Amino acid sequence: MTGHVPALVQPTADRGETQASFPRARAALARAAQRQAASPPGRLRALRSAFLDAHTDAVYAELTAGHTRGLRLAELAAAAEGAFPGLVPTAAELAADRALAQARKAGHEIDLGIFFCRILRSPRSGGHLVDTLLRPTARALDLLPGFTATGRADLGSVRMERRDGVARLTLCRDDCLNAEDDRQVDDMETAVDLALLDDAVELCLIRGGEMTHPRYVGKRVFSAGINLKSLHSGGISLVGFLLRRELGYLHKIWRGVRVDDGASWRSPTRSKPWVAAVDTFAIGGGMQLLLVVDHVLAASDVYLSLPAAQEGIIPGAANFRLSRYTGPRLARQIILEGHRIRATDSEARLLVDEVHSPDELDAAVERSLDRLRGPAVAVNRKMLNVAEEDLGAFRRYMAEFALEQALRLHSADVIDKVGRFTTRGTVPLS
């Protein structure tokens, strides 16, 4: 069998010809997938990629009923499986992979990476998807009446309290030092939605809770980054964690949640100022979170790191955002070489607004919250963010991230490194 891509799924130069070939290419892809189920995966991946290169917008338009339906990531993949046989892995294939340790997976998420890469590359389809993912989740909408009435919500790994106009989000995974997994991403997106949708909330605070781990008992910890035990056991998903995290709650903190309030002349997004108070450390995803908030306070014994070189994966959108804060040279040292920043280092001023002794941090946090109140603050931070980060550039970055991170997840070096991390334990060494 040759390795060439059949002409029916190759891109064509003429738009009319491309549209006319869509039904034929669709049928050809389904037949090829059926015939090549036992063939090397690279062959079918080439077919899928070529089909999407030619027909991404037609595929997405059909799945979303001409952009009238907003489908989230998992819903979009499921719809593609039903409408376009052979385009994405089946639900059974993905379920079988989810039940396995990372080292034993067949790598079907790579094919999801191809799918979302091509969707996000398209300004029309990718723009609609990014916009869809800024909308509040169904879980948040269900919980909103209770939160607005009581000012409290316990989401599992995140506790929320509204006090004096401040939504206080406390990360409380004391079993793993606030290391993130699919569950915490869902809880965080729900919490961010609730904070942004509640009219009684003026601004928002994120802080780690007290831990029960013997080494950190009674001490607050911000975040240990990705949960390496979950990654090793196969519990970190491309869709539910790696893509949803960046396109969901982190993007909502930066750009706001999209609402439909009937006032079409107004901005469709609702945003608010965000403060992060860092205790002990902000590793990996914890440090990434600091890049989307407006004010960062840290205890003087804190350190920050993006251990990409050690873990072998891409640190989310940090490669896109970090150099805005640090400049390109320091960004490369942090991401490529694992350079650690301590709160007392001179270069920490590029990432942290205030450093205080641990016993003075609580009072400093309250002072910073008072300074960030007011509608003029909210609208000015919104305009700063619009100026600093182009939405199209973010979408294009996420398109490449979708595929490259999927490939990294299933690379031999990542599997080997994660296995060694988990045998040693996941508690970071300061």
For the stretch 245-273, pLDDT in tens is 999 999 999 999 999 866 667 788 999 99
Nearest to 251 by CA among 306, 198, 181, 196: 196
Query: Amino acid letter at 419?
Result: G
Cα-flanking dihedrals φ and ψ of residue 313, to 5°? Answer: -115, 175
In this prediction, residue 18 carries a pLDDT of 54
Reported pTM:
0.92
In this prediction, residue 82 carries a pLDDT of 95
Measured over the CA atoms of residue 52, residue 58, residue 62 and residue 68, the dihedral's sign is positive
Could you tell me if 250 and 284 are in contact, meaning their C-beta atoms sit under 8 angstroms apart? no
Reply yes or no on whether the pLDDT at 29 is more than 60: yes
Give 159-209 pLDDT, tens digit per residue.
999 999 999 999 999 989 999 999 999 999 999 999 999 999 999 999 999
Nearest to 365 by CA among 161, 218, 196, 166: 166
* Range of lowest pLDDT (38-52, 83-97, 106-120): 38-52
Nearest to 219 by CA among 204, 205, 207, 206: 207
Confidence category of residue 42, pLDDT binned at 50, 70, 90? confident
Cα–Cα distance for residue pair 387/369, rounded to 1 Å = 24
Cα–Cα distance for residue pair 288/316, rounded to 1 Å = 7
Q: Which of 7-11, 193-197, 232-236 has the highest mean pLDDT?
A: 193-197
DSSP state of 358: G
Cα–Cα distance for residue pair 307/326, rounded to 1 Å = 16
In this prediction, residue 19 carries a pLDDT of 62
Give 94-116 pLDDT, tens digit per residue.
999 999 999 999 899 999 999 99
Mean pLDDT of 41-68: 94
Judged by DSSP in three states, 87 sits in coil
Please give the share of the chain, as a percent, with pLDDT higher than 90.
79
Scan for tokens 């060494």, then name that residue.
Answer: 429
Could you tell me if 395 and 290 are in contact, meaning their C-beta atoms sit under 8 angstroms apart? no
Q: What is the mean pLDDT of the chain?
A: 91
Measured over the CA atoms of residue 415, residue 48, residue 115 and residue 39, the dihedral's sign is negative
In this prediction, residue 175 carries a pLDDT of 85
Mean pLDDT of 209-220: 94
Could you tell me if 8 and 24 are in contact, meaning their C-beta atoms sit under 8 angstroms apart? yes
